[in-house]
A = this chain, B = another copy of it.
Amino acid sequence: MNQSQYPSTLLQKAVTEISRLPGIGSKTALRLALHLLKQDVVEVDTLADSIKELRHHIGYCKVCHNISDTDICEICGNSTRDKATICVVENVRDVMAIEGTLQYKGVYHVLGGVISPMDGIGPADLEIESLVERVKLGGIDEVILALSPTMEGDTTNFFIYRKLQDTDVKISVIARGVAQNDELQYTDEVTLGRALAGRVPFKM
C-alpha cells in the first residue's frame, strides 16, 4: 500500500505515527485510525491524554527502580515483604508475572533491560550499579537472578555474578527445565538437556 494513496494528510500522519509502534504495520495502523474516527471525541482524547500523561509523569521506585506512582513502591514499602531477598528482573512485566504466582514474598530489583551489545545496551545503561550498592549496604541474604533464559539474560546474569561474587550474599538463579504442560517431543534440545542435567529427587 503506497502512502501517497492516503486520501488525507491527517489520516496519513496518524497512520504513520501509529505504525511506529512495535508489531503494528501500516494496515493495522489504518484499521486502528479508522476505528478511532468512529469513536466519541471524548474517548479519543482520553486515550491520547493517557498516553501523554504516562510518558510525562511516570515515576520509578528509588529502591527497586520499578515503575511507581510514589518514591518508594508498594512492594518496597510493604513491611510484610522479606527485604533480605532481592529478585533481579528485566522489567515491570516480569515483576507482575512473578507477583501473579503469589509465591514470592521478597522484594525486587528492576534492571530496565538486559546487556545486549547488538542493541547498544551495556551494563551502564541498566540498574546494575544500584543493585551492587544495595547489596553492599548490607542486610541482604540472597539475590535471585530471574532474567530470561536467553544469551542476553545469561550474559547479564554472569556480569552481575562477577560484580557480587566478593560479597557474602547467596546468588541463585531460577530453575530451567521443561515448562508445565509442554510436550516433551516438541521441547528444544537445550531445554531438554538442561532439564536432564538438572534432575532432582522425585517427591510425592
Query: Chain A: residues with CB nearer than 8 A to chain B?
Result: 1-2, 5-11, 13-14, 16-18, 20-23, 28, 30-37, 39, 41, 43-59, 61, 66-69, 73-75, 91-93, 95-96, 99-100
Contact = CB atoms under 8 A, between A and B. Distances in A.
Nearest to A96: B5
A47 B18 contact: yes
Q: Which one of A7, A51, A66, A100 has the greatest number of beta carbons of chain B within 10 Å?
A: A7
A34 B73 contact: no
Given A7-B73, A7-B92, A51 B21 contact: no
A8 B17 CA distance: 25
A8 B54 CA distance: 10
Q: Which one of A43, A46, A47 has the greatest number of beta carbons of chain B within 10 Å?
A: A47
B54 A11 contact: yes
B55 A13 contact: no
16 contacts: A7-B68, A7-B92, A9-B69, A11-B67, A13-B50, A17-B50, A20-B43, A21-B35, A21-B36, A22-B35, A23-B28, A33-B54, A34-B92, A36-B51, A37-B55, A44-B51
Contact of A41 (B2, B50, B55): B55
B66 A100 contact: no
Contact of A52 (B8, B48, B96, B99): B48
